[in-house]
């Protein structure tokens, strides 16, 4: 428990940072046993695995290289589980360069990546929208005699879909068919994503989305042995995250998504990205005819679609129908408020603030990510009293939440563009916060892998 507590208190600084502050340099410099113990947070491979696992759980992938370097400098030999943890962490953080570095380190130590590790690497390529690297990994698997599983094909399909490579996506589908594998809902999700991302967008794009939704109703379960997903469960990787679905961050949220609606989730999300209100309404009609009701994710992105199409009335109606009958998560309020600010119209800005006030009255609060997104959006308002941006800032201050640097920079810039005295308390507070953030996020070791 002490070790886990130490790892949770790292706060973005591992042993090298403490050493630098003490003026003792890197570990190659002789130090006293007492100072070594003070700076040491792990002593063997089991303890290092615990620290790495904690960093992965906390979503701090930018510290994994530092932890690994300390491990090597300690003379602790990584094992296969160590590399699995490291590569899963880089996948979750979309850090492809670090992922390939750990793969190379693994090989240097005589450990050959297995099929599950390749799945994580391919998924990382998809998250980073680098389909060429995913293809190279496929060739590498074949060269080393690593047998592909059903999951591998789907990882490849979705990695290629991320860059709109429809021709190569269809090639993967043909390979799956030749291998005796049927298409499941994640394959159809990949096909929808591929056409959404294909450029230039054509009239055929939205027709294909509706076609794949219809075809998916007869999907066949991809054959696989029982332990195919055991590695993913053990590493706390959901199928939605492995295949880079837009529902990945909500997969573990009870009641937020109905997993039987995966195809509709991806399709509605695509409609919002494509600003296609007509396709959205056709999908909602299909969903109703299939006997399903909207979940929070579908409503959230239907609202986003309407707002991106400039239809505030339909967005508000969709939101109110859902919120009047079901528990409404904070994310849905945030999506309505954020979308309402598009174009910074007086009505939209008023709706955004009223929505956030309703959310607060229901004892729902912003987290750092939601607060950052909203403040960044509100700070773009060039005219008006800046009341929405100020309200969002005050909400975050009340919860002692510091937004990310880009949002604070944008908010500070917006304040300075207005006729505000230089000694105004709000302006001074924001300027002080901005200075602290700029100092805090200075260069670290392994700066090439910073977020």
What number is the average pLDDT over the span 247-262?
A: 92
What number is the average pLDDT over the span 367-392?
A: 96
Reported as a single tens digit per residue, the pLDDT across 175-211 is 999 999 989 999 999 999 999 999 998 889 999 999 9
- 316 and 366, same domain (yes or no): no
How many CB atoms are located within 10 Å of the residue 377 CB? Answer: 23
Q: What is the pTM of this model?
A: 0.86
In a domain, 238, yes or no: yes
For tokens 């195809």, the residue is 263
Residue 294, class by beta-carbon neighbours within 10 Å (0-12 exposed, 13-18 middle, 19+ buried)?
A: buried
- 207 and 312, same domain (yes or no): yes
What number is the average pLDDT over the span 399-414?
A: 96
The residue among 62, 49, 50 whose CA lies nearest residue 11 is 62
What number is the average pLDDT over the span 23-31?
A: 43
- 305 and 389, same domain (yes or no): no
DSSP 326: S
Residues in the chain: 451
Q: What are phi and psi of 168, to 5 degrees?
A: -75, -30
- 364 and 412, same domain (yes or no): yes
Spatial separation of the C-alpha atoms in residues 300 and 315, rounded to whole Å: 9
Asked if the model's pLDDT at residue 11 lies above 60, the reply is no
In a domain, 251, yes or no: yes
Final residue in a domain of this structure, among 259, 293, 327: 327
Spatial separation of the C-alpha atoms in residues 129 and 324, rounded to whole Å: 39
How many CB atoms are located within 10 Å of the residue 54 CB? Answer: 20
Tokens representing 427? 């302006």
- 217 and 304, same domain (yes or no): yes
What number is the average pLDDT over the span 136-144?
A: 96
Spatial separation of the C-alpha atoms in residues 23 and 423, rounded to whole Å: 38
Contact predicate 158/193, CB 8 Å: yes
- 205 and 323, same domain (yes or no): yes
The residue among 436, 424, 358, 340 whose CA lies nearest residue 395 is 358
- 288 and 413, same domain (yes or no): no
The whole-angstrom distance between residue 450's C-alpha and the CA centroid of its chain comes to: 16
Tell me how far CA of residue 89 lies from CA of 58, 82, 108, 109, 235, in angstroms.
Answer: 10, 11, 20, 20, 10
Spatial separation of the C-alpha atoms in residues 41 and 137, rounded to whole Å: 35
- 315 and 359, same domain (yes or no): no
Final residue in a domain of this structure, among 266, 294, 327: 327
In a domain, 82, yes or no: no
In a domain, 34, yes or no: no
b/e sequence 61-97, b meaning 16+ C-beta within 10 Å:
bbbbbbbbbbbeebebebeeebbbbbbbbbbbbbbbe
- 205 and 322, same domain (yes or no): yes
Q: What is the pLDDT of residue 415?
A: 96
Q: What are phi and psi of 38, to 5 degrees?
A: -65, -35
In a domain, 45, yes or no: no
- 200 and 242, same domain (yes or no): yes
In a domain, 219, yes or no: yes
| Domain of 389, in residue numbers | 350-440
In a domain, 365, yes or no: yes
Q: What is the pLDDT of residue 129?
A: 95
Q: What is the pLDDT of residue 56?
A: 94
Mean pLDDT estimate for the chain: 88
Q: What is the longest distance spanned by two Cα atoms in the chain?
A: 73
What are the E-state strand segments in 9-128? none
Number of domains in the chain: 2
- 313 and 210, same domain (yes or no): yes
Output 50-58 pairs: Cβ under 8 A, ≥24 positions apart.
Answer: 50/3, 50/4, 50/7, 51/3, 51/6, 51/7, 52/82, 52/85, 52/86, 52/89, 53/85, 54/4, 54/7, 54/8, 55/7, 55/10, 55/89, 56/85, 56/88, 56/89, 56/92, 57/236, 58/8
- 316 and 357, same domain (yes or no): no
Asked if the model's pLDDT at residue 144 lies above 80, the reply is yes
In a domain, 368, yes or no: yes
Final residue in a domain of this structure, among 327, 361, 394: 327
DSSP H stretches of helix in 217-293: 230-234, 239-242, 262-274, 277-289
């Amino acid at each position: 428990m002490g070790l886990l507590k130490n790892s949770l208190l790292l706060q973005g600084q591992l042993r090298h940072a403490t050493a630098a502050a003490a003026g003792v340099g890197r570990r190659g410099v002789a130090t006293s046993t007492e100072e070594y113990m003070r700076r040491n947070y792990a002593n063997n491979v089991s303890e290092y695995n615990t620290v790495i696992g904690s960093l992965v759980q906390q979503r701090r992938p930018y510290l994994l290289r530092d932890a690994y370097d300390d491990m090597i400098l300690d003379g602790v030999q990584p094992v296969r589980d160590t590399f699995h943890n490291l590569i899963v962490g880089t996948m979750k953080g979309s850090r492809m360069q670090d992922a390939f570095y750990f793969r190379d380190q693994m090989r240097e130590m005589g450990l050959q990546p297995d099929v599950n590790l390749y799945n994580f690497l391919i998924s990382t390529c998809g998250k980073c929208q680098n389909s060429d690297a995913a293809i190279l990994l496929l060739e590498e698997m074949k060269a080393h005699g690593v047998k592909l599983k059903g999951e591998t094909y789907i990882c490849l399909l979705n990695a290629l879909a991320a860059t709109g490579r429809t021709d190569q996506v269809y090639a993967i589908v043909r390979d799956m068919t030749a291998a005796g594998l049927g298409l499941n809902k994640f394959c159809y999700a990949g096909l929808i994503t591929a056409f959404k991302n294909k450029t230039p967008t054509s009239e055929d794009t939205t027709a294909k989305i509706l076609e794949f939704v219809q075809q998916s109703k007869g999907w066949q379960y991809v054959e696989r042995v029982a332990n195919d997903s055991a590695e993913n469960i053990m590493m706390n990787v959901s199928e939605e995250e492995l295949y880079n679905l837009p529902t990945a961050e909500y997969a573990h949220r009870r009641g937020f998504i109905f997993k039987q609606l995966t195809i509709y989730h991806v399709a509605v999300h695509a409609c919002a990205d494509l600003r296609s209100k007509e396709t959205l309404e056709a999908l909602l009609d299909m969903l109703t005819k299939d006997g399903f009701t909207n979940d929070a994710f579908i409503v959230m992105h239907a609202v986003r679609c309407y707002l991106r199409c400039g239809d505030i009335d339909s967005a508000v109606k969709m939101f109110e129908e859902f919120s009047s009958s079901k528990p409404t998560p904070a994310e849905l309020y945030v999506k309505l408020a954020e979308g309402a600010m598009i174009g910074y119209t007086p009505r939209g800005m008023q709706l955004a603030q009223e929505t956030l006030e309703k959310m607060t009255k229901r004892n729902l609060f912003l987290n750092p990510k939601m607060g950052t997104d909203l403040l960044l959006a509100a700070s773009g308002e060039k005219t008006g009293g800046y009341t929405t941006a100020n309200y969002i800032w005050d909400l975050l201050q009340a919860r002692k939440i510091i937004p990310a640097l880009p949002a604070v920079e944008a908010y500070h810039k917006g304040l300075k563009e207005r006729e505000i005295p230089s000694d105004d308390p709000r302006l001074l507070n924001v300027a002080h916060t901005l200075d602290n953030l700029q100092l805090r996020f200075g260069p670290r070791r392994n700066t090439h892998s910073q977020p």
